[in-house]
Amino acid sequence: MRLLIAEDDEPLAARLRERLAREGYAVDVAHDGIDAGHLGATEPYDAIVLDLGLPGRTGLDLLADWRAAGNRVPVLILTARDGWSDRVDGLRAGADDYLGKPFHTEELVARIHALLRRAAPAADVALRAGPWRLDETRQCLVHDDGREQPLTATEFRLLRYFMRHPGQVLSKTRLTEHVYEYDAERDSNVIEVYVRRLRTLLGAGCIETRRGQGYAFHGDG
């Protein structure tokens, strides 16, 4: 899962990026409205954390542009604690949630988790593959008999994306775009390596290859 943080407070953005990366997200950061507008319009994010007071272009302008273009990415806006009018304007412009500054990072993380759950293609999708359950907190697999299987950061991000889109045909390009940050080395062939690894862990039938199209995840294996 891939996030954009649009925040001009660089130390705050760096702290949020580090915290969300520990949660298993690929995170990009923009410090002004120009870069944020471009990234939000051209990159396939799963959610955006948007400060309304960005230099260059305001967050409200960016949000209005994204929604006018049909971009329905979940957006959590950040506002000043007493900026009730900003919150109202943001929600009317199409924001999905808001958080007043200052805030506790844990609350922001929890709100992002909630946004992504609501945006999932299938409601209350179970993050399971046969007897294995994906533990998002510890970023590992847990078997019904209590055994645990550690995952690398990339394995975790890829498997979580598969599990949140069960039955959908996902191209290698789409998987790459949602697993890696904007400035990461993107080699779609590496996805094949991780898919083979996940099949070894979960069973060959859990991820189906659709020749010329991509892969489809089947939780029942």
Per-residue confidence (pLDDT) for residue 190, from 0 to 100: 84
Dist CA 202 CA 159 (whole Å): 10
Assess whether pLDDT exceeds 80 at residue 22.
Answer: yes
Q: What is the mean pLDDT of residues 195-202?
A: 93
Domain boundary among the residues 119, 147, 180 is at 119
Residue 208: C-alpha distances to residues 8, 48, 96, 205, 219 (Å):
42, 30, 34, 6, 11
Domain boundary among the residues 57, 86, 119 is at 119
Q: What is the mean pLDDT of residues 70-77?
A: 93
Report the CATH number that the domain containing residue 24 is assigned in CATH: 3.40.50.2300
Per-residue confidence (pLDDT) for residue 200, from 0 to 100: 93
Which residues span the domain enclosing 205? 128-217
Total-model pTM: 0.78
Residues 101 and 152 in one domain: no
Q: What is the mean pLDDT of residues 125-152?
A: 88
Per-residue confidence (pLDDT) for residue 116, from 0 to 100: 87
Q: Are 134 and 160 in contact (CB under 8 A)?
A: yes
Assess whether pLDDT exceeds 80 at residue 139.
Answer: yes
**Which runs of consecutive H residues, i.e. helices, occur in 30-83?**
33-42, 59-68
Residue 93's φ and ψ, nearest 5 degrees, are: -80, -10
Residues 9 and 115 in one domain: yes
Considering only CA atoms, give the Rg of the chain.
18
Residue 70: C-alpha distances to residues 17, 114, 145 (Å):
27, 22, 45
- Note the pLDDT tens digit of each residue in 77-136: 998 756 677 778 888 888 999 998 889 999 999 999 989 888 776 555 668 888 999 998
Dist CA 148 CA 39 (whole Å): 37
Domain boundary among the residues 59, 94, 119 is at 119
Strand arrangement, sheet containing 207-210: 169-170, 214-217, 207-210
Residue 54's φ and ψ, nearest 5 degrees, are: -80, 145
Dist CA 195 CA 201 (whole Å): 10
Dist CA 142 CA 125 (whole Å): 17
Per-residue confidence (pLDDT) for residue 117, from 0 to 100: 82
DSSP E strand boundaries for 65-178: 75-80, 97-101, 128-129, 132-135, 140-143, 148-150, 169-170
- Note the pLDDT tens digit of each residue in 153-192: 899 999 999 998 888 999 998 999 888 877 666 666 788 9
Residues 63 and 92 in one domain: yes
Per-residue confidence (pLDDT) for residue 188, from 0 to 100: 63
Q: What is the mean pLDDT of residues 15-26?
A: 93
Per-residue confidence (pLDDT) for residue 106, from 0 to 100: 93
Residues 142 and 211 in one domain: yes
